[in-house]
Every structure is written in C-alpha cells, then in structure tokens.
C-alpha cells in the first residue's frame, strides 16, 4: 500500500493556516475594491508560446511544462528524441503560469478595445516555478498583484503606495515603504563615465544589502571604477540626510558632480532624466499623507531591466518582530513603459505592485499578530446524548444559524467527554448538551467552554441568550 506524499515544494493549507490566509486576502481585497480595482483571474495553463522568452533564459528553465495528450511522441522527429531540450517543443505545448504579469499583458492584448482604460485590476492566484525548494521558497506559491494599465500619471503611483499603506495598517503590521526612481539612477550615467561602468555600478549597488556600504566601495575599487567609488560615497552620504526632500536635494547636488569625459549630449539627457524623476518624486510625496512611513531610498535598484520610472519596496518595520528576523521585502513594484510590446501592442504604460502573500503571512506570524485573531467559532456545538435528541438538536441549530451564528450538531450520541473534546479541538465557545431530561423540560445544558460554567437555558430563550452573550454574531 502506497504511503502518500506531496510533491516537493508544494503545501497543503489546512484549516488553521488557511483561515489566516483568507483573512489576509480579505483585507487586501477590501482595500483594492475601495480604490475601484476590478478582479481578474487567468487560467493556470498558458500556451508555452505565451510564456517563453518573457522571463530570461533562467526563467524559461524554470517553467513547468505539460506533456501533450495522447500519442505525444508522434510528431517528434527521430533526431530529436534523444535530447531533452530538443524534444521538449515537440511534446509540450502548454505550461503553468509563472507570474501574474505576463497573463495580464496577454489578457489586455486579447481584450483591447473592450477594456476600460485605465484598466485597474487585482489578481490573487498561485504561480509555479520549477525552482530548487528552500525554506520560504516554494514551487507552487501565491502572488497578489495590483496594476494600473494604460495611464502614465504619478497619481497612479500615489494610489498604489497609499493602498500599500492602508493594507498593512489594516493588517496591523508596521512597514516602511522605500521609493526610488529609475530616472535618478539614469542621471548618474555621465558621472560614471560609461554605460558599462553604470551597469557595473548597478550590479555592485544591488549587493549593498549583503556586503554593506564599504563592501560595495571595495568591489568598485577592485574593478578600477574610481568615478563609481566617488558616486557611491556621494550616494551614501545623500542617503544619510533625514527626510525625503533633503535626500532628493542632496542627490540633485551629487548627480552633477560630472565626469569630465562626459559629452554634452549625455549630460543633457541626464539633466532631463533627473528633472523628470525629481518632479515625479516630489509630486508623488506631496500626494501621500504627510505622516506616511515612506522613505526615499537612493540605493534601491529593483530589477532595472523592466522598470522605467518610480520603483517601490516594502519591508516590515515592526517592534514586535524578533531582532534577528530577516525575511527581506514583503512587496515591491514600479512603473513600466511597455507591458504588452512582446504581444504586438506597443506603448502601453502602466504601474504595478505586488504583495508577497507567503512572506506577509510569515512576518505576521513572527510578530505574533495571529495570536490575537479569534480562533473560536461564534456559536454552539449541540451535543445529543441519545438518538432521540437528534431532531431537537437539528431544529435548534437551524434557529441559531438563522440568527447569524454558527452551529453544528455532533453527529452521534457519543459519550459526553468525547463530544466536549471535539468541541474544544474545533474551538467552539459553547456546547449545548441535550439528553432525555433536557428534552422533557425543553431546555439545554449550556456549557461555556472558555470559562467552564454551565447554565440551563430553555429552547425558547436560547437565541436571546446567545444574542446577549455573543454580541457580534
């Protein structure tokens, strides 16, 4: 007899965990809807043509491919039957969704002309990646994305950041939102001397989290990027300034620490990029509540190949978290210029952010936020002491539910201890014991499972009693 198991990197979500996940998703969904976002769901199965070439070579490797049905080998030429890579295209036409962005782009292209523009959508669905499973990294995991497609105003960025703030506030988790702008980084080009130096600088900067400020300087020095070392130190100094505006001013001063080799054209481009970025950042900041926990992070790079404007990252900042808690960002996103170009529809701009559901869950758990979540059922487990009590128990449970409470009848006349153990295990707060004596007097023995107290309540008074003792049914 086989012993069943789960594929590596996948999980069951049992009741305890799933109820918490659902509570998180419900909070997020309420925020999305209050901002006029519409839901979208796309199929798990996509044509591999849709997915391939969108996530780089590494991404293509990580796609889950579905074997074609029937005699899938029939079309494969003999020559390609001995090499996994060569055979794949012959035997697998479909794959599993890898993220929610490419399906969004496909949906927008397939439904263009019918969608309201801007198209504001939220999507919460699992995605699949054939990655090596690790702690906190799964092969099947959930993403939650919100995007505004077809609009290029900073109002959209402001709205998304405000939604981040509100969502985490309503989840009860303290966070900090770091913001940067691709234009600021672009404007560093002349200071760095060359496009290749700029790229090397970006790669080194991206490691600051791991190797620290001095580590980045050292790496730049090792690569003989003297300009870059000076820019990096200037950036770190600007980053030390207090508030959003001071940092931005310090950056503006820094960016025109020009390299003498830079030509006039590239300086002009950099000036324009800087002006646009600084204007957008100032407008964005002004549209957010003054007290919002939003900081300018001049060293935030975040997937530069994709983003073209503002970029965001959310980190937990909550004093209830253990000091050694290190999980990294729990959300991020930014503005892009060209969502649908790969599907033949150019010039569709947009901006989007995602919520890392799994990491949000882990962070909230580490901060003890679920401890306060009510785990009990607001209602009654009816405990029949004999089969003759079934009808009354069923009828009373029906009345209790009718008033908005949960109710359950234990499905046998088992020993009372067994039934009460079940009630405690399930988290019922009340148990109504119903046997021959109770039936004759048309009462139940109502046991408060938290306090242990017991009282006799008549059939007729049961609902009134509940309304008094469980006020928010």
Residues between 368 and 407 with contacts to a second copy, criterion CB under 8 A? 377, 379, 381, 390-391, 394, 398, 401, 404-407
Closest separation in Å from C-beta 252 to a second copy: 22
Strand partners, 45: 96
Least Å distance, CB 270 to a second copy, is: 25
**Interface with a second copy in residues 63-122 (CB under 8 A):** 64-67, 69-74, 81-84, 87-88, 91-94, 96, 106-107, 109-111, 116-118, 120-121
Establish if 164 lies at the interface with a second copy (CB under 8 A).
no
Contact 183, 280 (CB under 8 A): yes
- The per-residue DSSP string of 286-332 comes to HHS-TT--EEE-TT----TTT--SEEEEEEE--TTS-TT-----SEE
In angstroms, what is the minimal distance from the CB of 400 to a second copy? 9
Of 222-230, 279-287, 323-331, 451-459, the segment contacting a second copy by CB under 8 A is 279-287
Distance, CA of 179 to CA of 284 (rounded, Å)? 10
CA-to-CA dists, residue 30 to 138, 166, 334, angstroms: 27, 10, 22
Site for a second copy in 306-335 (CB under 8 A): none
Query: Which residue lies nearer to a second copy by CB, 67 or 323?
Result: 67
> Least separation, in Å, of the C-beta of 7 and a second copy?
5
Residue from 196, 199, 375, 412 in contact with a second copy (CB under 8 A)? 412
- Residue 335: partners with Cβ closer than 8 Å, 6 or more residues away: 152, 156, 157, 182, 307, 308, 309, 310, 311, 349, 350, 351
Give the one residue of 199, 246, 286, 455 binding a second copy; rule: CB under 8 A: 286
H/E stretch holding 66: strand 65-66
Taking the least distance from each CB to a second copy, the nearer of 153 and 239 is 153
Residue 35 interacts with a second copy (CB under 8 A)?
yes
- Find the part of the chain contacting a second copy (CB under 8 A) among 15-23, 268-276, 365-373, 454-462: 15-23
The SS3 assignment for 127 reads strand
The reply on whether position 1 binds a second copy by CB under 8 A is: yes
429: which 2 tokens?
């707060």
Q: How far is the CB of 51 from a second copy (least distance, A)?
A: 10
CA nearest 248: which of 258, 239, 260? Answer: 239
Options 192, 428, 429, 432; binder of a second copy; rule CB under 8 A: 428
For a second copy, how many residues bind (rule: CB under 8 A)?
Answer: 105
Q: Does 15 bind a second copy (CB under 8 A)?
A: yes
Q: In what order do the strands lie in the sheet with 454-458?
A: 406-409, 377-384, 428-434, 443-448, 454-458
Q: Parallel, antiparallel, or unpaired for β 310-316 and 175-181?
A: antiparallel
Site membership for a second copy, residue 429 (CB under 8 A):
no
- Smallest distance, a second copy to C-beta of residue 319, A: 26
Q: Which of residues 121-160 bind a second copy (CB under 8 A)?
A: 121, 126, 128, 130, 139-140, 148, 151-153, 155-156, 158-159
User: Helix, strand or coil for residue 455?
Assistant: strand
- Within 203-262, which residues bind a second copy (CB under 8 A)? none
Q: Is 344 in the site for a second copy (CB under 8 A)?
A: yes
Pair 297, 239: CB distance under 8 Å: yes
Judge if the upstream peptide bond of residue 336 is cis by omega within 30 degrees of 0: no
Tell me if 472 contacts a second copy by CB under 8 A. no
Smallest separation (angstroms) from a second copy to the CB of 62:
8
């Amino acid at each position: 007899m086989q012993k069943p198991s789960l594929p590596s990197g996948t999980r069951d979500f049992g009741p305890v965990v799933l109820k918490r996940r659902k509570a998180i998703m419900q909070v997020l969904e309420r925020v999305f809807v209050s901002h006029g976002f519409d839901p979208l769901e796309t199929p798990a199965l996509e044509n591999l043509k849709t997915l391939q070439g969108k996530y780089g070579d590494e991404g293509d490797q990580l796609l889950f491919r579905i074997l074609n049905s029937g005699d899938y080998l029939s079309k494969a030429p003999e020559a390609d039957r001995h090499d996994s890579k060569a055979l794949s295209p012959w035997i697998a036409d479909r794959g599993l969704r890898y993220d929610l962005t490419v399906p969004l782009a496909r949906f927008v292209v397939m439904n263009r002309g019918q969608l309201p523009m801007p198209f504001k959508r939220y999507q919460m669905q699992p995605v699949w990646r054939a990655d090596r499973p690790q702690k906190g990294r799964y092969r099947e995991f959930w993403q939650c994305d919100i995007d505004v497609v077809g609009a290029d105003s900073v109002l959209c960025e402001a709205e998304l950041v405000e939604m981040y703030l509100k969502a985490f506030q309503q989840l009860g988790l303290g966070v900090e939102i770091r913001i940067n702008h691709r234009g600021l980084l672009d404007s560093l080009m002349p200071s760095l001397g060359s496009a290749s130096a700029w790229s090397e600088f970006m790669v080194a900067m991206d490691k600051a989290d791991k190797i620290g400020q001095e580590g980045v300087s050292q790496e730049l020095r090792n690569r003989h990027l003297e300009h870059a070392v000076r820019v990096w130190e200037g950036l770190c100094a600007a980053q030390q300034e207090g508030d959003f505006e001071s940092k931005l001013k310090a950056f503006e001063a820094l960016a025109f620490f020009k390299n003498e080799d830079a030509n006039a054209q590239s300086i002009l481009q950099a000036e324009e990029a800087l002006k646009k970025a600084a204007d957008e950042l100032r407008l964005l900041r002004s549209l957010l509540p003054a007290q919002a926990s939003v900081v300018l992070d001049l060293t935030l790079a975040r997937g530069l190949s994709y983003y073209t404007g503002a970029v965001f990252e959310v980190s937990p900042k909550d004093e209830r978290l253990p000091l050694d808690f290190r999980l990294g960002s729990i959300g991020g996103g930014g503005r892009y210029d060209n969502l649908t170009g790969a599907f033949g529809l150019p010039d569709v701009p947009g901006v989007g952010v995602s919520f890392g559901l799994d990491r949000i869950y882990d962070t909230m758990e580490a901060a003890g936020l679920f401890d306060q979540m009510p785990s009990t059922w607001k209602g009654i487990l009816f405990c029949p002491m004999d089969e003759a009590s079934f009808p009354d128990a069923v009828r009373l449970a029906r009345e209790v539910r009718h008033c908005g409470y949960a109710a359950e009848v234990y499905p046998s006349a088992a020993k009372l201890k067994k039934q009460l153990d079940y009630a405690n295990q399930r988290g019922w707060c009340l148990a109504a014991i119903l046997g021959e004596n109770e039936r004759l007097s048309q009462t139940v023995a109502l046991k408060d499972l938290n306090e242990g107290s017991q009282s006799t309540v008549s059939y007729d008074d049961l609902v009134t009693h509940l309304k008094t003792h469980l006020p928010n049914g």
